[in-house]
Chain A
Amino acid sequence: MTDFIFGHYVYWSIIALLIIGLYGMIFKNNLAKKLIGMTIFQVSIIMFYVASAVKWSATVPVLDPVTGVVDAAKYISPLQHCLMLTAIVVGVATSGVAFSLAIVIYRHYKTLDESVLMERMKSS
């Protein structure tokens, strides 16, 4: 039981982070807060990938040039790190796009609140 809890508490905290992000996306009316929730959601996904690559009794995926590959099980899987490396930078760029769209919405309708925004979109 203790082994189970110590092996899974990271997943549960990542799920808590994901639920916080989803809460921000669903319940908040302000578009900027929705974007913050989306970023938290994204970070939780990245953390899940990195947590799935952890292996005790193994080392980082940088080869020791003296010994070479003796045992492939002594290195953690480099695939998840590679995927998330690009995902972080692309996430920053796409959140920049999202914030620029929010800025344009604010300039045009002079509000970021969703309910007010819907009314102004209908009336105009």
Chain B
Amino acid sequence: MRKHKYNPIILMVSRVVSPFIMIFGLYVIFHGHYSPGGGFQGGTLLAAALLLIRLAAGFDIAQIQFKRILGTPLGSIGVLIYFGTGFLAMISGGEFLNYGFLPFAGFTEAGLRALGILMVEIGVGLAVMAILVAIYDDLLEGYPHD
């Protein structure tokens, strides 16, 4: 097996480009109320930024940025944020996932729904990012990387 050697030019370009993709992913998540976007698209963009470093620098160097062991717990946390938002609405008097009953003061009912949608989108984006990176890492399992 030939040792994997990273190309310094490609690594340099990916290091420059990756934060911009990450910023764009965050913009797509948090601006999803007012323009096309949302949790799924933004999470995929964040995963693309992480995978770019993984492809360019090799598996071991990319561990500094995002550890392999973080994948499944972050995905679970994302699903729990979603579920917790619905559950919070349920224990404060409404139905499950009825964001109009979220216990935050100073909002109208429609504003509470917008807030609930934002919380849900953050959970979705976190879960999608973590799981896509985790699937890539698991597919590399057993492959003799340097």
Direct contact of A and B (CB under 8 A): yes
List A residues at the B interface (Cβ < 8 Å): 60, 62, 85-86, 88-89, 92-93, 96, 99-100, 103, 107
Which residues on the A side are within 8 Å of B43 (C-beta)?
Answer: 89
A-B pairs with lowest CB-CB distance, top 7: A96-B135, A89-B40, A85-B40, A89-B128, A100-B139, A99-B139, A93-B131
Interface of A: prevailing SS: helix
Minimum distance in angstroms from A65 CB to a CB of chain B:
8
Q: How many B residues touch the partner, as a band?
A: 10 to 19
Contact of B132 among A92, A103, A107 (CB under 8 A): A92
Which residues on the A side are within 8 Å of B142 (C-beta)?
Answer: 107
Minimum distance in angstroms from A81 CB to a CB of chain B:
9
At the interface, yes or no: B8 with Cβ under 8 Å from chain A? no
Contact of B35 among A62, A93, A99, A100 (CB under 8 A): A62
Cβ-closest chain B residue relative to A99: B139
At the interface, yes or no: B44 with Cβ under 8 Å from chain A? yes
Contact of B139 among A62, A92, A93, A103 (CB under 8 A): A103
Pairwise interchain contact A100-B138, C-beta atoms closer than 8 A? yes
Q: How far is the CA of A89 from the CA of B130 in the complex (A)?
A: 13
